[in-house]
Amino acid sequence: MAEGIKIEVVSPESLVLSDDVASVTVPGTDGYFTVMGDHAAMMTTLKAGFVTVTSEGGDVRSFFVRGGFADVSNAGLTILAEEAKTGADFDRSEVDAAIVSAQDALAKASDDHAKQEAQNNLDGWKNLLLEVDAGGMVH
């Protein structure tokens, strides 16, 4: 079993998360990728999407990010986001509207790549809804 990884999510306003976790899925510009312990060093730009963090105990948290960079090194994963929000930063109506929009985008997707991107976006909003409903707490 792979060992965990240190993650920090930083926005211009604050340190959003600093923790040791089992894995992190990140919205890279070329698509989502997952980082676990002993991941090769890399740096990439981010697209708007969801960072999904899985704790050693299996709890999952989602964070919405808009742009920025992800840097994987021996020290861990650092995400420098132009904007980063937790479930507690959204109200239910915002997320409900985003889910409806994402469902519409999925229905209109014309090829496999567009469908996968739309599905990832929809899944991210649904995961964030769980965070909103839980008051931004880990579930």
Per-residue confidence band for 10, with pLDDT thresholds at 50, 70 and 90: very high
53: phi then psi, degrees, rounded to nearest 5: -110, 125
Beta bridge partners of 42: 72
Average pLDDT over residues 66-95: 90
CATH of 5-86, one of 2.60.40.10, 3.40.640.10, 2.30.29.30, 2.60.15.10: 2.60.15.10
pLDDT of amino acid 30: 86
Q: Quick one: CA torsion of 101, 107, 111, 113, rounded to 10 degrees? A: 40
| Residues 6 or more apart in contact with residue 82 via CB below 8 angstroms | 11, 12, 65, 66, 67, 68
pLDDT of amino acid 94: 86
Tell whether the model's pLDDT for residue 139 goes beyond 50. no
Q: Distance (Å, rounded) from C-alpha 137 to C-alpha 139?
A: 6
- Gyration radius of the chain's alpha carbons: 15
Span 24-52, pLDDT tens digits? 999 998 888 999 988 899 999 998 888 99
The pTM of this model reads 0.75
Average pLDDT over residues 64-83: 93
Of the listed ranges 7-11, 54-58, 106-110, 131-135, the least confidently predicted one is 131-135
Write down the domain spans for the chain: 5-86, 92-134
Tell whether the model's pLDDT for residue 138 goes beyond 60. no
